[in-house]
Chain A
Amino acid sequence: MTYVVTQACVDVKDRSCVDQCPVDCIYEGERMMYIHPDECVDCGACEAACPVSAIFYSYDLTPESEPFLEINAQFFAGIGSPAGASKLGRPGRDHKFVASLPHAGRP
């Protein structure tokens, strides 16, 4: 069980969630934010903070947003559990599904 960032975050990255996360488990990709499923403590601050309602608890994912449970988890393959996004910095990449999404306003 964990909170999950979904597609509404792509190319938005408001980052209000980062300021509120008590365990600093929301990491920055190039196009969206990702929540570390093993570091999230289920507090719900991010869900309430997100201005575009991109964050859901895993119970609340819909069939369309369900793949983002895996997308958030797989983003951390090769990164492990750094126990703090600010310690890690920006990994400078995205999950391949997110990277392949068309850019808004571009063909």
Chain B
Amino acid sequence: MTHPLSVAIVGSGPSGAYCARLLSEDGSLDARVDVYDRLPAPYGLVRYGVAPDHQKIKSITASLAEILEHPRVRFVGNVAVGSDVSLDGLRRHYDAVILACGASVGRRLGITGEDLPGVFSATDFVAWYSGHPDAAVDRFSLTAEQAVVIGVGNVALDVARMLVRTADELRRTDVPEHVVEVLAASSIREITIVGRRGPAFAKFTSKELAELGALESADVVVDPADLILDEEQEAALAANPAARRVLGKLRAMADREPRGGERSIRFAFACRPAEFLGTTAVEAVRFQRSLGRSSEPVDVPAQFVLRSIGYHGSRLADMPFDERTGTVPNDVGRVIGPDGPVPGLYAAGWIKRGPTGVIGTNRPDASETVRALVDDMRAAPLKRAAAPGDPVDLLRLGGKAIVDWAGWRAIDRAEREYGERLGRDRVKLHDRTRLLDAASATDASED
């Protein structure tokens, strides 16, 4: 390498940030790293996916901020790679590009009635209560009596918990005020969380389950009959200590006397969703029992349904993509196109390995990708003369409202000030226009 290594990273969530840290901290690389995000705010799913009542996990943003504030790193917010600038265009300006754009689309079940009003993806609901600029402010009004959440991962527990949080509890988070109002006024009294397989295969962690059980605002109901295990489940438990802890908690919940609270959260296992019933809107979900207690379908009444069966990545223009897995084909982070490895193109995080693991899982994942990138750059002297001009300046000249780090800090301040006025720590700005106004308000006066 003969000149500073220039790298663009697409996405400022944990995987993008960890790649930026590895590149910027290695002085021998003399790297210049631009971290693009299509949103005006950084941190990806830490800001827009981690549940608002998990503020301790959200405090990871402090360490991500240190990375994005590094002198070798620039945050380039509000720029969508694929539309504001093409991926190929970006590649002409940098020695290497790392795709770290995540997986943000909710998977579909592919069953009858899925498009009936009242059936939503949990990811849309999460985006809305997290104040995501793509989720319309008035997207949800919670006028149902009964809700069904399909899926038994941590996101399913997140959305169920958010549906029973009190206004006071919600005001201790950073959710927008209109979200507090809608959630607090929700008429939903019964929530059923439904798993396709038996409880031994539940994906949520015992920690998240314990948190649900500790809620004061809802009874958690587990049917003891659901905890009678078949051989397959017994074998799964024997092999998995985490699943044994989950089952222990479910058993304790099954033994509990309901307190007769205003709201309840009920678990139902071994129920495969077969069909959404209803004429003009969803009225019930039909399940087929999958463990042979009865072959009769079970209809669970619900006017509000969230499917929470996982995330799926989405394709950017010019990007090799496997529709089936929702990931970018790659070998240890080197992107593989139809004709083999694509020079200078890499992937990290969920778009690389699929939507699995927790925030920390992205650290070793980013290390693997950056190691591949650095090995390639050291093996082959850079031959491409990068296209002239700073791509960020060129975008700005083209009239794009870029949110740089100072702009983000202005948004951050505006959210804290807004929170203070409402007697809360921080309140998120939801609408994209308000975010951009806040970012530009103090353009010149950044301290």
Contacts and interface: CB of A to CB of B under 8 A. Distances in A.
Interface of A: 1, 19-23, 41-49, 53, 57, 59-60
Given A41-B60, A57-B207, A59-B206, A19 B363 contact: yes
Interface stretch (B354-362, B400-408, B427-435): B354-362
A11 B357 CA distance: 27
Given A22-B63, A23-B60, A53-B241, A44 B364 contact: no
B245 A20 contact: no
Contacts of A20: 360-361, 363-364
Interface residues of B, number: 23
Contacts of B210: 57, 59-60
Interface of B: 14, 54, 56-57, 59-60, 63, 205-207, 210, 241-242, 245, 357-364, 367
Contacts of A60: 206-207, 210, 245
Given A19-B363, A20-B361, A22-B14, A44 B205 contact: yes
B14 A45 contact: no
A21 B14 CA distance: 12
Contacts of B361: 20, 45, 48
B206 A42 contact: no
Given A20-B361, A22-B363, A41 B207 contact: no
A22 B206 contact: no
Nearest to A24: B63
Contacts of A59: 206-207, 210
A98 B14 CA distance: 35
A42 B57 contact: yes
Contact of B360 (A43, A53, A57): A43
A45 B360 contact: yes
Task: Specify which of A21, A22, A49, A57 lies most central, judged by the most chain B CB atoms within 10 Å of its CB.
Answer: A22
